[in-house]
Amino acid sequence: MKVAIVGASGAVGQEFLRVLDERNFPIDELLLFGSSRSAGRTYTFKGKPIVVKELKHNDDFKGVDIAFTSAGAGTSKEFAETITRYGAIMIDNSSAFRMDDDVPLVVPEVNGDDAFVRPRGIIANPNCTTIQMVVALNAIEAVSHIKRVHVATYQAASGAGASAMAELKKQYEQLIAGEKPTVEKFFFQLAYNLIPQVDVFTDNLYTKEEMKMYNETRKIMHSDIAVSATCVRVPVMRAHSEAIWIETERPVSVAEAREAFAHAKGVVLEDDPENRVYPMPLFKAGCDPVYVGRIRSDISNPNGLTFWTVSDQIKKGAALNAVQIAEYLLAHQK
Ligand SMILES: NC(=O)c1ccc[n+]([C@@H]2O[C@H](COP(=O)([O-])OP(=O)(O)OC[C@H]3O[C@@H](n4cnc5c(N)ncnc54)[C@H](OP(=O)(O)O)[C@@H]3O)[C@@H](O)[C@H]2O)c1
């Protein structure tokens, strides 16, 4: 198996190196790609140094079986043809192709089989906030159809990449030193703050990130589910959290929900309020599952249920989900 990572120097690219190693993904040869900025840099995989190549329009992808791409939507669009020309499956982390009809959008726990229908050789990895939500929603959907979702996200700095993590750390250091914090990556200072805007606004006054949660959830779940999201950037380094309210076709009790979450693929239930057991992002960085807690009946809606999820968005929200797609393809080859 010849595997490529495009965007190897980035937050997600670096996570790919860890996840592929951790899961012992079958690799005979690994190729790393980046822009001219990181070309020539060396990263180690399974004890062997690999030099990053510059991504160019050439034949470098000849013989590549799977290419994990995480270099932004513009790069994915520009290089998709070059990457897939000789048959490589491109598993893309960007938003470039997610809503294209001829590109499957896949979370293996929910719709793994969709990955087999990929006329362009491209499989899209959903947005990180959507991945963690649909893994949890899927558990309840099996009990009763979910008609509506309200969700408020608490998104870590790392969701905006390696430079955003560095900026948050630097802001705290500067503030402690009594200096004016550098604000480049986010619209405002994130340290000691919350920013109720992730990505740009659309015509309906939701942000692009919020509309991704609406559109992508429907595509992945093959459902008419309606999603209203408010996405907020928070000064957490890694792992996104989400407060989720759902309305189901018939009332789902807390006991039924706990039972469903306890047995759902990819979910770990951490829900013991009396003992203050609930998931928190600080403790979930680097973990694989989607954690669910704070489950309760919605006192404002007889068919409502509310809960809290936490998941490492660089892992399950990006690199891990993409590797799981590849694993699903290998395990269920048709
Ligand atoms: N961070 C997350 O939690 C997360 C979650 C889900 C999806 N994603 C998506 O994953 C992608 C990468 O995100 P990230 O957080 O890893 O960003 P990042 O830390 O800023 O890394 C960006 C990567 O893209 C590479 N790149 C940029 N332009 C390129 C070009 N023209 N040719 C080749 N490589 C190029 C960069 O290489 P150089 O160092 O050479 O510039 C770097 O390796 C984005 O599309 C993002 O939306 C991110």
pTM: 0.97
Token digits of residue 229: 């999201």
> What positions carry a catalytic annotation?
128, 240
Of 262, 269, 293, 242, whose CA–CA distance to 134 is shortest?
242
Domain match, 86 and 151 both: no
Structural domain harbouring 46: 2-126+318-331
Share of the chain above pLDDT 70, in %: 100
Cβ(241)–Cβ(283) below 8 Å: no
From the CA of 156, give the closest atom in ligand 1.
Answer: 3
Regarding the beta carbon of 38 and ligand 1, being less than 6 Å apart is answered yes
Domain match, 77 and 146 both: no
pLDDT tens for residues 32-70?
A: 999 999 999 999 999 999 999 999 999 999 999 999 999
pLDDT tens for residues 190-210?
A: 999 999 999 999 999 999 999
Domain match, 72 and 198 both: no
pLDDT at 133 over 80: yes
Cβ(181)–Cβ(175) below 8 Å: yes
Regarding the beta carbon of 159 and ligand 1, being less than 6 Å apart is answered yes
What pLDDT sits at residue 207?
98
203 burial level (CB within 10 Å; 0-12, 13-18, 19+)? exposed
Residue type, 41: R
Q: How far does residue 297's CA lie from ligand 1's centre (Å)?
A: 40
Residue with the two structure tokens 């020309």: 85
Domain match, 302 and 325 both: no
- Mean of pLDDT values over 214-238: 98
Regarding the beta carbon of 304 and ligand 1, being less than 6 Å apart is answered no
Domain match, 297 and 285 both: yes
pLDDT tens for residues 242-289?
A: 999 999 999 999 999 999 999 999 999 999 999 999 999 999 999 999
Domain match, 118 and 186 both: no
Q: Considering Cα of 14, then 16, then 21, then 23, what sign does the dihedral take?
A: positive
Domain match, 75 and 150 both: no
Residue with the two structure tokens 């809606």: 301
pLDDT tens for residues 163-195?
A: 999 999 999 999 999 999 999 999 999 999 999
Q: How far does residue 54's CA lie from ligand 1's centre (Å)?
A: 14
pLDDT at 333 over 90: no
Regarding the beta carbon of 126 and ligand 1, being less than 6 Å apart is answered no
Report the C-alpha gap between 202 and 206 in whole angstroms.
6
Q: Count CB atoms within 10 A of the CB of residue 36.
A: 9
Domain match, 166 and 275 both: yes
Report the C-alpha gap between 131 and 141 in whole angstroms.
15
CATH of the domain at 210: 3.30.360.10
What pLDDT sits at residue 36?
98
Residue with the two structure tokens 């589910």: 225
Report the C-alpha gap between 270 and 259 in whole angstroms.
12
CATH of the domain at 120: 3.40.50.720
Report the C-alpha gap between 303 and 305 in whole angstroms.
7
Regarding the beta carbon of 84 and ligand 1, being less than 6 Å apart is answered no
The DSSP call for residue 195 is: B
Q: How far does residue 173's CA lie from ligand 1's centre (Å)?
A: 25
Q: How far does residue 94's CA lie from ligand 1's centre (Å)?
A: 8
Domain match, 323 and 299 both: no
What pLDDT sits at residue 34?
98
From the CA of 314, give the closest atom in ligand 1.
Answer: 3
> Cα 311 to chain center, whole Å?
9
Domain match, 303 and 248 both: yes
Domain match, 147 and 94 both: no
Share of the chain above pLDDT 90, in %: 99
Q: Indicate the average pLDDT of the chain.
A: 98
137: helix, strand or coil: helix
Report the C-alpha gap between 154 and 152 in whole angstroms.
7
- Mean of pLDDT values over 117-130: 98
Split at pLDDT 50, 70, 90, the class of 8 is very high
pLDDT at 334 over 80: no
Domain match, 153 and 258 both: yes
Question: Domain tally for the chain?
Answer: 2
